[in-house]
Every structure is written in structure tokens, then in C-alpha cells.
């Protein structure tokens, strides 16, 4: 069974540009979560889609937004990139209600120059 | 909001010895406590989790204990092996926001042969 898949694996952008990161959950999982892991730091919650609806947002600027699709896949968009947006963006998925826990993808490494 | 503190930040153990990582949380409503292992350049992997209705859970060489009164939980790894070397993260969330995990800062565990 395929795990959570994310693309692209690496992305290099310059300040002011926009980045789009994509995530496909494990088959049967209807909840998708986005976390940011800056170098050497822990994971910070960004966004959560539950059964396709936005359930919760973390404390991040409005230039960071998400989209969800009928098949429960998701996109994370970061506009007007700043240097501090450089991080590993991790997507996770779970069964409804979080049963069984959250399972993470390999992440998308975003570098802003 | 929830705040999770994790100690120590680094832990060096001899192969075969035990390792213990401790976390404290601030929100008494938190009731779900997973632990993740992240090897260098890899995704965080759920290794064990505990809910607040139990005090201890064990899976082979790993165990987690929870003290709700003191608001702390711990990860115990026995008979450590070199492949246990990784960064370990504790996290906490609550029923109505199970996907919004608040992570600790992580513990770098190094198991030396």
C-alpha cells in the first residue's frame, strides 16, 4: 500500500515567488495535515483538512493557504516567499477522527534564495 | 494553547543500555500523546502512542508512560541498538483537535556500539 506522497521533493525559489506543494493521502484516509519543519527545529502545525473541509489553521500568515480536492488530496500554496519560508513541508494523513494516528510523507524541501 | 517541552535535547547511550525521553505538557485537556522517530533525511514515523485513559503502553522494546496528574509522559527504549539512533519527537493533542499536534523540540538519540 502506498504511503503519503508529496511533490515536489525539492523546490528552489527566490524571494517574492510563489510555491505550490502537493500531497496525496494514504488510500482510505480522509484527513490531511500540513506541518512545517524548519532546519533543526520541531514540527509546526500549519493546516488541517478533515473529510475535505478545512478544520483548523495554525498561526501562519495569510500568504500561506491550502486547497483540498474531492479525492482528499491537498495543495499548500505559499505566496510572496520570504527567506524564513525555507523549510521541510510535511504532509500527513489519517483515518477519520485521527484513528490510528497521523502518517507523514517524505516532505517537500523548499529553499528560498 | 498547548506547550510541550521535551528533555533532553541530546542523549548518547551505549548499545544495550536503556534510553528515556521525557515530555511535559501544559493543557490538561490534552489526551492523545504520540511519539515519532525521524531518521536523518527521512519522514517522521509514528512508533507508539498513548491515550489518556491508560497509564502505560508497551510495544516490544519501546514503552510509553503517562502521568496525567503531573502532565508528563515518557518514552522508554530498552536494549538500544544502533538503528535506534534518530531524532525522537513527542507530541500532544486533544479530542476536538486531534490533528493539531503540538510537538516537542525533539531529542537526538545516538546509540554507540
How far, in Å, CA of B69 to CA of B58, rounded? 21
User: CA-based diameter of chain A, in Å?
Assistant: 39
Output the CA–CA distances (angstroms, integers) from residue A60 to A64, A74, B6, B69, B86, in the order listed: 7, 18, 23, 32, 28
pLDDT tens digit string along B7-45? 999 999 999 999 999 999 999 999 999 999 999 989 999
Beta-ladder partners of A54? A49
Angle at B59 between CA B54 and CA B64, to 5 degrees: 45
Q: What is the pLDDT of residue B1?
A: 79
Mean pLDDT of A95-106: 86
Say if A103 is an interface residue toward chain B (CB within 8 Å): yes
pLDDT tens digit string along A65-77? 999 999 999 999 9
Q: What is the DSSP string of B34-89?
A: EEEEE-TTS-EEEEEEEETT-SEEEETTEEEEEETTTTEEEEEE-S--GGG-EEEE
- Which residues on chain B place their C-beta less than 8 Å from a C-beta of chain A? 32, 34, 36, 42-46, 49, 89, 91, 93, 97-106
Mutation target for B interface from A5, A6, A44, A45: give the one with most B CBs within 10 A: A45
Mean pLDDT of A42-67: 84
Bridging pattern class, strands A108-112 and A87-94: antiparallel
pLDDT tens digit string along B70-100? 999 999 999 999 999 999 999 999 877 778 8
Q: Using only the alpha carbons of chain B, give its radius of gyration.
A: 13
| CB-based contact B106 A105, cutoff 8 Å | no
Mean pLDDT of B58-76: 96
Amino acid at each position: 500500500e502506498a504511503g503519503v506522497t508529496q511533490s515536489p521533493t525539492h523546490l528552489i525559489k527566490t524571494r517574492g515567488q510563489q510555491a505550490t506543494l502537493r500531497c496525496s493521502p494514504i488510500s482510505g484516509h480522509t484527513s490531511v495535515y500540513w506541518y512545517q519543519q524548519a532546519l533543526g527545529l520541531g514540527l509546526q502545525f500549519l493546516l488541517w483538512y478533515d473529510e475535505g473541509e478545512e478544520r483548523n489553521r495554525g498561526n501562519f500568515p495569510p500568504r500561506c493557504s491550502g486547497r483540498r480536492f474531492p479525492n482528499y488530496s491537498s495543495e499548500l500554496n505559499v505566496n510572496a516567499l520570504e527567506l524564513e519560508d525555507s523549510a521541510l513541508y510535511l504532509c500527513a494523513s489519517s483515518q477519520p477522527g485521527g484513528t490510528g494516528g497521523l502518517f507523514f510523507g517524505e516532505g517537500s524541501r523548499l529553499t528560498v534564495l | 494553547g498547548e506547550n510541550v517541552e521535551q528533555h533532553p535535547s541530546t542523549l548518547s547511550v551505549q548499545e544495550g543500555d536503556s534510553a528515556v525521553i521525557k515530555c511535559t505538557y501544559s493543557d490538561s485537556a490534552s489526551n492523545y500523546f504520540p511519539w515519532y522517530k525521524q531518521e536523518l533525511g527521512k519522514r517522521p514515523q509514528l512508533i507508539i502512542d498513548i491515550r489518556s485513559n491508560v497509564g502505560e503502553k508497551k510495544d516490544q522494546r519501546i514503552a510509553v508512560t503517562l502521568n496525567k496528574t503531573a502532565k508528563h509522559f515518557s518514552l522508554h527504549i530498552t536494549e538500544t541498538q544502533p538503528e535506534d539512533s534518530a531524532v525522537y519527537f513527542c507530541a500532544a493533542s486533544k479530542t476536538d483537535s486531534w490533528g493539531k499536534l503540538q510537538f516537542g523540540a525533539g531529542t537526538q538519540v545516538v546509540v554507540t556500539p
